Amino acid sequence: MMGISTGKQYIDRINKRNTNIWIDGNRITGNISEHPAFKGVMASQAKLYDLQHKQELKDLMTFESPKSGNLIGTSFLDPKTKEDLEKRRLMIQEWAKAHAGMMGRSPDYMNTILMVLNAASDLFSVEDDQCAENMRNYYEYIRENDLSLTHVFVKPQNDRSKKGVASENIAARMIKETEEGIIINGSRILATQAGMTDEILVYPIGSNANDDAFAYAFAIPCDTPGLTFICRESFAYKDSHYDHPLGSRYDEMDAVVLFDDVLVPWERVFLHGNLVVNSLLYTQSHFFEHIAHQVVSKNVIKTEFILGTIELIIKSINISEYQHIKEKFSEVAIALETMKGFLYQSEKNAKINQWGSMMPDPNPLLAAVNYYPKIYPRLMEIIQLMSASGLVAIPNEQDFQADIGDDLKKHLQSANQDGYDKVKLFRLAWDLSMSAFGSRQQLYERFFFGDPVRLANQLYTDYKRESSINLVKEFLEQD
Ligand SMILES: Cc1cc2nc3c(=O)[nH]c(=O)nc-3n(C[C@H](O)[C@H](O)[C@H](O)COP(=O)(O)OP(=O)(O)OC[C@H]3O[C@@H](n4cnc5c(N)ncnc54)[C@H](O)[C@@H]3O)c2cc1C
């Protein structure tokens, strides 16, 4: 039992694993933390772990384990009071500041998921008490050792019209149960941070299984035999933080996951075939409320980062006198204040749920996860509309170091910076709004929490509206 991890411990652990991970047609061999696609983002993740050890942040980022007495990460904290919720938010935001809100899978995301599944572990006993016990043991194991996780819960995109029964011979399914555990065969999408985590959690959130072969939940080490991760191409491109300020640091990577008769030992199985648990898991665990609280806390910081970038662009080329620029800035400020409003409102109206956890109010969070995927592309459009050619007049670091460097410093100067510093800012704006990294961020914000169309349907179903209805009924009853 060790408590909070350091960045070095995280890197060493991942390097020691023999995870089967492929990129550009080759299996990665050697230290994954030195591979060009993973180097930057793993260093960023390591910095997050190190922040937990900073003396001045320890009270915020950690708490004492009820089991071992060791310091463990605040994102594992099951909130019992509104103060706990606030502490969780501040901790999440401390990490988000360190990654400019660009790492959707910073460890607090998965830690929050485990916290929820542990709090609601009784749900798993509907199938089998041992499954509930396994869930609690697993949460404790990850918490006490501060291990990192990725997750997959989507069936491959083959023929969506076939709904739950789609791609039976493709989508990962349970093919048998043995004395040692369950055997999984097939594939799943889409594991963000795949290959750079210790473990993978596989579960049926949002999958509407109507066949018990798809009703499973488990977690295994990423180097379990038979497990393969196949990455997209890297958007980190180069090491240079000047050229790719965001991609070189925060490209989290996404991978398809193949299960080739993977044996999941019984102690790691949380669900194996029970369609009732499968259907209750998302709603009854209150997965949504806690994860959305993490997401919105992070996205407040992301929006602050965007607003700061936009204001520096305005000052850089001195365009603040134009009314449409002020109006566009105001759109960004409104987005930021709206997100903060959703977040604080969710905490203010938080209530203890059936698992004894202080649960944020879902109404503002439902609004937030429907709002942000729509406003985020607009924020990126505003960066483009304000920056214009500034997003392509961006020679790279090597150009500035070459003989032409002085000419570039002069000719690309802005109202308040020389060419080198102006291009540094505009390369950031480009990486946010236009590069492969920036486009992936847009796609991420649109889809990572699920299809926006179905999220809107979820809002229609779950939004609490009794007070509005009563207002109208009382009005109608007046005569
Ligand atoms: C950058 C990124 C990172 C991600 N990271 C992860 C991760 O770490 N782990 C993970 O498990 N998943 C991850 N995802 C996957 C994410 O959860 C899915 O993208 C999301 O749930 C939507 O599913 P899909 O991509 O299969 O889209 P599809 O369901 O195939 O949808 C495609 C289109 O068809 C429409 N459509 C399909 N079915 C219906 C229907 N029944 N009703 C109405 N419209 C429908 C959709 O609206 C959409 O327009 C990630 C996705 C992205 C883009």
Query: Using 50, 70 and 90 to split pLDDT, how confident is the model at 169?
Result: confident
Banded pLDDT at 206 (limits 50, 70, 90): low
**Domain end (from 221, 248, 280):** 280
Q: Which atom of ligand 1 is nearest to the CA of 193?
A: 8
Q: Supply the pLDDT for residue 370.
A: 98
pLDDT-above-90 percentage for the chain: 93
User: Residue 266 sits in a domain of what CATH number?
Assistant: 2.40.110.10
Alpha-carbon dihedral 377, 383, 386, 390, rounded to 10 degrees: -130
* Residues contacting residue 290 through CB under 8 Å, at least 6 positions apart: 112, 115, 116, 357, 359, 360
**73 vs 58: CA distance, rounded Å:** 9
Q: How far is residue 347's CA from residue 370's CA, in Å, rounded to a whole number?
A: 18
Q: For 227-258, write each residue's pLDDT tens digit.
A: 999 999 999 998 999 999 999 999 999 999 99
In a domain, 13, yes or no: yes
From the CA of 163, give the closest atom in ligand 1. Answer: 41
The residue type found at 479 is D
204 and 316 both lie in a single domain: no
| Residues paired with 188 in a beta bridge | 257
pLDDT at 167 over 80: no
User: How close is the Cα of 225 to the center of ligand 1, in Å?
Assistant: 28
Per-residue model confidence (pLDDT) at position 294: 98
Domain count, the chain: 2
What b-and-e string marks burial along 227-246, b requiring 16 or more CB atoms within 10 Å of the CB? Answer: bbbbbbebbbbeeebbbbbb
Please count the other Cβ atoms lying within 10 Å of the Cβ belonging to residue 475. Answer: 9
Residue 193 reports pLDDT greater than 60: yes
* Per-residue pLDDT, 211: 85
3-class SS of residue 62: strand
| Same domain for 412 and 338 | yes
Please tell me the residue having the least CA distance from ligand 1 atom 49. 451
DSSP code string of 180-223: SEEEEEEEEEEEETTTSSSEEEE--TT----SGGG-EEEEEETT
Beta bridge partners of 150: 200
Ligand 1 pocket test, pick from 110, 152, 161, 447 with the greatest ligand atom count within 8 Å of Cβ, gives: 447
3-class state of residue 331 by DSSP: helix
The protein residue whose alpha carbon is closest to atom 2 in ligand 1 is 444
Position of tokens 């009784």? 122
Which amino acid type is present at position 255? A
Q: Both 216 and 292 in a single domain?
A: no
Pair (274, 297) in one structural domain: no
Domain boundary among 280, 298, 332: 280
In a domain, 174, yes or no: yes
Expressed in angstroms and rounded, the spacing between residue 254 Cα and the centre of ligand 1 is 13
pLDDT per residue as tens digits for the range 423-478: 999 999 999 999 999 999 999 999 999 999 999 999 999 999 999 999 999 999 99
User: Which of 257, 280, 303 is the C-terminal boundary of a domain?
Assistant: 280
Tell me the CA–centroid distance for residue 375 and ligand 1, in Å.
19
Which of 153-157, 406-410, 453-457 is predicted least confidently? 153-157
State the closest ligand 1 atom to the C-alpha of 450, by its place in the atom list counted from 1: 21
290 within a domain of the structure (yes/no): yes
The bridge status of strand 269-272 relative to strand 181-192 is unpaired
Q: How far is the CA of 450 from the centre of ligand 1 (A)?
A: 5
Query: Quick one: 380 and 274 in the same domain?
Result: no
Centre of ligand 1 to C-alpha 44, Å, is 27
CB atoms under 10 Å from CB of 226, counted, come to: 15
Closest Cα to atom 5 of ligand 1: 192
Query: Is it the case that residue 221 has pLDDT exceeding 60?
Result: yes
CA of 156 to the centre of ligand 1 (A): 9
Q: Are 323 and 380 in contact (CB under 8 A)?
A: no
Instruction: For residue 420, give the H/E element and its range.
Output: helix 419-433
Q: Is 271 helix (H, G, I), strand (E, B) or coil?
A: strand
79 and 194 together in one domain = yes
Cβ neighbour number for residue 144 with a 10 Å cutoff: 18
Rg of the chain over all Cα atoms, to the nearest angstrom? 23
Residues 260 and 305 in one domain: no
> Whose Cα sits closest to atom 13 in ligand 1?
190
Identify the CATH number of the domain in which residue 426 sits. Answer: 1.20.140.10
Mutate to test the pocket of ligand 1, among 291, 370, 451, 454 (most ligand atoms within 8 A of CB): 451
Q: In 289-432, at which residue ranges do the beta strands (DSSP E only) sit?
A: 351-352, 358-359
For residue 449, which atom of ligand 1 is closest to its CA?
17
Position 1 in a domain: no
Q: Are residues 325 and 225 in the same domain?
A: no
Same domain, 246 and 383: no
Position 470 in a domain: yes
Q: What's the number of CA atoms in the CB half-sphere (13 Å) around residue 46?
A: 18
> Which atom of ligand 1 is nearest to 453's Cα?
47
Question: 266 CA to middle of ligand 1, Å?
Answer: 30
Distance 163 CA to ligand 1 centre (A): 13
| Nearest-angstrom CA–CA distance, 261 and 176 | 9
Nearest-atom index, ligand 1, CA of 444: 1
Instruction: Compute the distance between CA of residue 156 and CA of residue 188 in angstroms, rounded to an integer.
Output: 6
Q: What angle do CA 454, 457, 459 make, to 5 degrees?
A: 115
pLDDT (0 to 100) of residue 444: 98
The model's confidence at residue 399, banded by pLDDT at 50, 70 and 90, is: very high
Distance 456 CA to ligand 1 centre (A): 14
297 pLDDT higher than 80: yes
Measured in Å, residue 270 CA sits from the centre of ligand 1 at: 24
- Beta-strand (E) ranges in 343-422? 351-352, 358-359
pLDDT band at 163 (very low <50, low <70, confident <90, very high): low
Which residues lie below 8 Å from residue 158, measured CB to CB, with a gap of 6+? Answer: 166, 167, 170, 171
Of 136, 157, 113, 163, residue with least CA distance to 285: 113
Question: Nearest-CA neighbor of 355 among 292, 278, 287?
Answer: 287
Residue nearest to atom 27 of ligand 1 (CA): 451
Mean pLDDT of the chain: 96
pLDDT for 159 equals: 87
Across residues 366-376, what is the average pLDDT? Answer: 98
Distance 454 CA to ligand 1 centre (A): 10
Residue 49 is part of which domain span?
7-280
What separation in Å is there between the alpha carbon of 189 and the centre of ligand 1?
9
- In this predicted structure, the answer to whether residue 1 has a pLDDT above a threshold of 60 is no
Ligand 1: which atom is nearest the Cα of residue 446? 53
In a domain, 122, yes or no: yes
Residue nearest to atom 11 of ligand 1 (CA): 152
Q: Kindly report whether the peptide bond that precedes residue 455 is cis, defined as omega within 30 degrees of 0.
A: no
| pLDDT for 210 | 75
Question: Which residues have any ligand 1 atom within 6 Å of their CB?
Answer: 151-154, 157, 160, 190-192, 254, 440, 443-444, 447-448, 450-451, 453-454
Give alpha helix (H) positions in 62-168: 82-98, 107-119, 129-145
Average pLDDT over residues 90-101: 98
Examine the domain organization and report whether 153 and 200 are in the same domain.
yes
CA 374 to CA 307: how far, in whole Å?
A: 17
**Structural domain contains residue 2:** no
Residues with Cβ within 8 Å of 186's Cβ and at least 6 positions away in sequence, in order, are 169, 170, 171, 172, 173, 258, 259
Q: How many CB atoms lie within 10 A of CB 9?
A: 16
351-362 per-position pLDDT tens digit: 999 999 999 999
Same domain, 275 and 348: no
39 and 65 co-located in one domain: yes
